[in-house]
Amino acid sequence: MNKKKIFNDPVYGFVAVPTDLIFDIIEHPFFQKLRRIKQLGLTDFVYPGALHTRFHHAIGAMHLMSITLDNLRSKGNEISQEEYEAALIAILLHDIGHGPFSHTLEYCLLKGIKHEDISFLVIKHLNKHFGGALDLAIRMFCDQYERKFFHQLVSSQLDIDRLDYLNRDSFFTGVSEGTIGADRIIKMLDVRDDQIVVEEKGIYSIENFLSARRLMYWQVYLHKTTISSEKILVKLITRAKDLISNQEPLFSTKPLKLFLENEITLEDFENNDAYLTAFCSLDDYDIWAAIKIWSQGEDKVLRLLANMILNRRLFKVVLSNDQIQDEKIKEKQTRIIQKLNLNEKESEYFIAHGSMSNSAYISEGQSINILTKNGKILDVAQASDLPNIKAMSKIVKKYYLCWAKSLSL
């Protein structure tokens, strides 16, 4: 069988699958699941074109990694073929631990388990399946490989993940402010003292990258309508779990039922491959199938929430620079109780509040290093002559209050 396949990617054009092992990983059911998980959850409720998947993103990131490694090689950095393949595998699988609707249900279906933890377990599982062929990729993924710059390319302030998702999300949402010069940034990358650096002439591309990331967070990832739709979905799944815990029968697919009925810990995942296999068969379609059935169910709360999602009758959202006062929350909850004829406990499913924060660049830990013309390495905030770089280092926090406004369902 010819495994030298290509994908026609809408962002980059033709993307080649460089090795047989990578082809086989892409063909594995755990990876194919990413075709059925949207990259941006329910963001298509705001931007109708945002229907791209985690599969798109993974393939695109692999492509950018290959271009980056080719560029580093051209500048005299020695990269073996084994390292080359391992780096591509590490970035290809960096998001394989995502569940339905990506980040939206991350802390709802699984309590306190990050998708990065699941990704690590999946990569280890695949490593067993492929007879240890992913050993080096795992070391790069976990930052245990002696050449540290490989991990920086997978996960850092300026990693391949961000270069792809900013361009891709900008393309599919139509938010042009998120467009970055990924090609130029990659051309400006080099390695010094085992650290990724950006040549000084690429500093304006980095400034644009940071600015684009900040704008994409406010305009796309933290858009108030996205927040509203995600909160309804979280409340819906929470209600389903509460009903099941009270022994009430509820439709769900087999893998979804497993996670609705049980509080599965990371230790459970580590000790029982059945949980990992079940999670890796769970995708957006399990949730949508359940929502359509629940929209006609007997439980009033679940039925209303399901119909709100299906018909895009979203929560009203108010953003504030100040913390939402308890009196304001209580006022909205009282109105919900009266309009929907619910008790106080039931009304809690129709209101949500909390905070969100956005910072384009946090220099502590892993900074973006600029290689000056005289050979010095400076943090981008020091090297830049633009004051907005320092401003983008500031964490901006906003508070939100969401509540059901459209009740004629």
Q: Is the pLDDT of residue 383 over 80?
A: no
d(CA 74, CA 86): 19
Give which of 159, 40, 164, 198 is closest to 104, Cα–Cα.
40
Provide the pLDDT confidence category of residue 105 given band limits of 50, 70 and 90. Answer: confident
Amino acid at 140: M
CA atoms within 13 A on the CB side of 98: 28
Q: Buried b vs exposed e over 13-23: b needs ≥16 C-beta within 10 Å?
A: eebebbbebbe
What local confidence, expressed as pLDDT, does residue 393 receive?
Answer: 66
Report CA torsion sign: 4, 7, 8, 11.
Answer: negative
The answer to whether residues 50 and 44 touch, using CB atoms and an 8 Å cutoff, is yes
Residue with tokens 């769900």: 252
How many helices (H) and strands (E) the chain has is answered by: 20, 9
Q: Is the pLDDT of residue 249 over 70?
A: yes
The percentage of the chain sitting over the pLDDT mark of 90, rounded to a whole number, equals 74
Report CA torsion sign: 189, 380, 195, 76.
Answer: positive
* pLDDT, averaged across the chain: 91
What local confidence, expressed as pLDDT, does residue 1 receive?
Answer: 62
What local confidence, expressed as pLDDT, does residue 385 receive?
Answer: 66
Give which of 52, 55, 136 is closest to 88, Cα–Cα.
136
CA angle 159, 41, 281 (to 5 degrees): 90
Sequence-separated (6 or more) residues with CB below 8 Å from residue 70: none
What local confidence, expressed as pLDDT, does residue 386 receive?
Answer: 59
Asked which of 7-16, 84-93, 122-131, 263-272 is least confident by mean pLDDT, the reply is 263-272
Residue with tokens 């924060």: 357
* DSSP classification of residue 76: T
With 0-12 CB in 10 A as exposed, 13-18 as middle and 19+ as buried, what is 335?
Answer: middle
What local confidence, expressed as pLDDT, does residue 280 receive?
Answer: 95
What is the average pLDDT across 218-224? Answer: 92
CA angle 262, 356, 382 (to 5 degrees): 125
Asked which of 2-6, 140-144, 345-349, 381-385 is least confident by mean pLDDT, the reply is 381-385
Residue pLDDT, tens place only, 317-348 = 999 999 999 999 999 999 999 888 899 999 99
Q: Is the pLDDT of residue 408 over 60?
A: no
Alpha helices, DSSP H, located in 44-131: 54-74, 81-92, 115-129
The answer to whether residues 165 and 209 touch, using CB atoms and an 8 Å cutoff, is no
Residue with tokens 């108010």: 318
Q: Is the pLDDT of residue 409 over 50?
A: no
d(CA 199, CA 377): 9
What is the average pLDDT across 377-384? Answer: 80
What local confidence, expressed as pLDDT, does residue 199 receive?
Answer: 95
Amino acid at 99: G
Task: Please name every residue paired with 14 in a beta bridge, in sequence order, or none if there are none.
Answer: 8
Largest Cα span, the chain = 72
124-128: long-range contacts (C-beta < 8 A, 24 or more apart)? 125/30, 125/273, 125/276, 126/25, 126/28, 126/30, 126/93
Q: Is the pLDDT of residue 141 over 70?
A: yes
Q: Give the chain's domains with CATH numbers.
A: 6-222 (1.10.3210.10), 224-356 (1.20.1250.30)
- The phi-psi region of residue 341 (left if phi > 0; otherwise alpha if psi is between -120 and 50; otherwise beta) is left
What local confidence, expressed as pLDDT, does residue 378 receive?
Answer: 87
CA atoms within 13 A on the CB side of 349: 25
The answer to whether residues 364 and 340 touch, using CB atoms and an 8 Å cutoff, is no
Q: Is the pLDDT of residue 52 over 80?
A: yes
- 382 vs 203, residue with greater confidence: 203
Provide the pLDDT confidence category of residue 223 given band limits of 50, 70 and 90. Answer: very high
Q: How many CB atoms lie within 10 A of CB 160?
A: 29
Q: Is the pLDDT of residue 110 over 70?
A: yes
Which phi and psi (to 5°) does residue 123 adopt?
Answer: -65, -40
d(CA 2, CA 22): 13
